[in-house]
Structure 1
Amino acid sequence: MNQKEKEQILRNELEAVLEGGNAHDGWQHKLKNFPPDKINSGLPGLRTPVRTLLTPWTLLVHMRICVKDILDFIQMRDYSPLPFPEGYWPAEEKAPSPEEWNRELEGFALLMAEAVQLVRDLKTDLFSPLPHAPEYSVYRELLLIADHNAYHLGQLGLFEDL
C-alpha cells in the first residue's frame, strides 16, 4: 500500500469518526430523531458551566458553538477565542419550539458538513502545523470535534427516557 492509499484510508476513518455511528449513534441519528417533547427536559441539579439548566437544547447549542469555534480556529489566522466558559454556552434558559430545535440542528449540520469537507478536500494538509498555532494541526482539531460531539451525544441519552 502506497502513501496516497494510506492517507485516503485515514481520511475515510476521520470522516467516519466525525459522522459517528461506529461505536455509538452518529449525530445525525441522535439529533434528528431526538424526541421533540424532550428538547426542554432538564434533570434537577444539572447545570451548564454558566449555571443555566442543562437540557438537550443547551447541549445542541453548545455543540454548534464549539464546532464553529474549532472551524474558526483552523481557518482564521486572526482567531480570537470566545470568553470561557460563557462564550460556549447559551447565556439564558430558553424553552425552544421544535421548529427552533430544527433550525439549530440545521446550523449544526452545516458546520459538520464543513468539517467533513475539510477531510474530503485533498488539498487540506491534515498534519502540518497551523500557521497561527504551530502546536496544533487540522487533524488534531477535527478529532477534537468528533470527541467533543461524542461526549455530549452520550449526555443526550440521559434525557431520552425521562
Structure 2
Amino acid sequence: METSQQSSLMKELEDLITKGNAHVTFEDAVAGLPPAMRTMVPENLPYSIWQLVEHVRIAQKDILEFSSSEDYEALDWPDDYWTPAVENVSDSAWEQSLAEIRSDRNRFLELVKNEKHDLYAAIPWGNGQNLLREAMLIADHNAYHTAEIVVIRRLLKCWK
C-alpha cells in the first residue's frame, strides 16, 4: 500500500476509535455520571456502568497486549473480562480506570500509526489476526459497550 493510502487509513482508524464518528464517544458517555449511578444495575440488565467501563478497559488492554507482545498470555473468557458487581466505586478507582482506557487506547494507536508496522501483516504469535483487524475490533467493541452505557444512563434518567 502506498504511503498516502496507509496514512489515510491510519487517520480513519484513529478517528473511528477516538471520535466515534456517528456514535457518542466513550468519554461523552461517561462524562458527568453521578458517582452513585456508577454501580446501579437497572432491572433486567446484567451489569452496571462500572462493570461495562471495567470490561472495556480489560478487553482493550488485552487487545493491546496481544497486538504488541509475543509474550501475550490469553485471558480466560468470560471470567477474566468481567468484574463482579460492587456497591460503590471510589472517585480515584473511577478516574484510574478511565485514565487507563485513554492510555491504552493511545498506546494502541501508536502501534497503528507506526509506519514500520504493516496493518495487513499477520501478527506472528496470532492465528492470522493483523493490526487492522485489531483496530476495528477495538472500535467495534468499544462502540457497542458505549451504547450500552448510554442506554443504562437513559434507564437511570441521567442522560442528556
1:1-162 superposed matches below 5 A: 3-47=2-46, 54-161=47-154, 162=156
Unaligned runs of 5+ in 1: 48-53
State the Cα distance separating 1:78 from its structure 2 match.
3.1
Q: Deviations over 1:38-67 (max 9, x none)?
A: 2122112322xxxxxx00000000100001
Give the superposed CA RMSD.
1.7
Structure in which a larger fraction of residues adopt strand: 1
Q: Is the 8 A contact 2:35 2:89 kept in 1?
A: no
Q: Percent identity?
A: 31
| Larger mean Cα displacement after TM superposition, 121-130 or 36-45 | 36-45
Poorly superposed stretches of 4+, deviation over 3 Å: 32-37
Question: Which is worse superposed, 82-91 or 24-33?
Answer: 24-33
CA change 1:77–1:94 in 2 (3 A) is farther
TM normalised by structure 1 equals 0.87
Superposed displacement of residue 4, structure 1: 1.4
Quote how far apart the aligned CAs of 1:30 are: 2.1
Q: CA deviation at 1:16?
A: 0.5
- Which sections of structure 2, spanning at least 5 residues, go unmatched? none
> What is the CA–CA distance in structure 2 between the aligned matches of 1:160 and 1:17, rounded to whole Å?
23
Worse-superposed segment, 144-153 or 93-102: 93-102
Return the letter of the residue paired with 1:154. Answer: A
Q: How many residues align?
A: 155
Letter aligned with residue 118 of structure 2: D
Distance (whole Å) between structure 1 residues aligned to residue 125 and residue 20 of structure 2: 33
CA displacement at 1:87 relative to structure 2: 0.5
- Cα distance in 1 between the residues matched to 2:146 and 2:52: 8
